[in-house]
Amino acid sequence: MFRLSTALTVAVSAFAACGCAPQLVSLAEGPREYVATDYESVLRHWTRTERLFSLSELDNFLTATATFESWDFRWAYTVRYVQDYRLTIDERKKLLEKALDETKRRHQFFVAIYGGERRYNDLTRPDSAWIVRLIDDTGNETAPEEIQLIKKPNAIERTYFPYNNVFRQAFRIRFPRVTAEGRPTISTKAKWFGIRFAGAQGNTQLVWEISNDALNTPSTSPSSPPPSETAATSN
């Protein structure tokens, strides 16, 4: 009688599991007109989840959820933060400028994972069960510039990334935006990019598909905000 190998693993996308079509994202920069209540929908737009498990043992090796902290996401995040903390106009402008400037230097992901033995899910350890890479469909593959373990997520990290619960380990993973040779780590010709987790138990990748008008059009069409809630730059 044929027995299914215990090494057989299956990666399941949250989109595939629910039968949803993947959302296309835009990497376009430029002003956005968000209000604080837009944050939840923008967060969903830039967040992906994948699960890697053993089909024979029904053992969850890895569940990974990640948010790509893009230009668009950071704009919405800043607007929400400004509203929550009632910042002044000057504070708001400085915070937004700093957040957007970071996107020009690196690609950053907020990642929360669980599954298997917890200690081996620490991506900062040399004996971690997983190697993480930034990838795209043109063949680019980039190692992280920095992996920061968030040992004790604060109120902001719990609230603004609600999938980051007590059962998960959270990280900020940063990749260079360009290689030492000056080549973009996400190609301008890429149709998708993502982060891949690979190890002895299998591999899976979280993918963001890029819209054809990514260089020209924002990823969403938000409503215009009142002046008190917008983080639009002003003189």
d(CA 27, CA 44): 16
Residues facing residue 170 across a β-bridge: 112, 150
Give per-residue pLDDT as tens, 111-124.
999 998 888 999 99
Q: What is the DSSP letter of 72?
A: H
What is the token pair recorded at 232? 């639009």
User: Where do runs of H (alpha helix) occur along 46-192?
Assistant: 71-85, 89-103, 155-160
Mean pLDDT throughout 56-81? 92
Mean pLDDT throughout 211-233? 42
Give per-residue pLDDT as tens, 3-59.
333 445 666 565 444 445 668 999 999 999 999 999 999 999 999 999 998 766 668
Mean pLDDT of all residues in the chain?
85
Share of the chain above pLDDT 70, in %: 79
> Residue 212: its pLDDT value, please?
78
Q: Is 113 helix (H, G, I), strand (E, B) or coil?
A: strand
> Residue 54: its pLDDT value, please?
73
Does the pLDDT at position 233 exceed 50? no
Is the pTM higher than 0.85? The answer reads no
What is the token pair recorded at 231? 């983080």
Do 178 and 187 touch, CB atoms closer than 8 A?
no
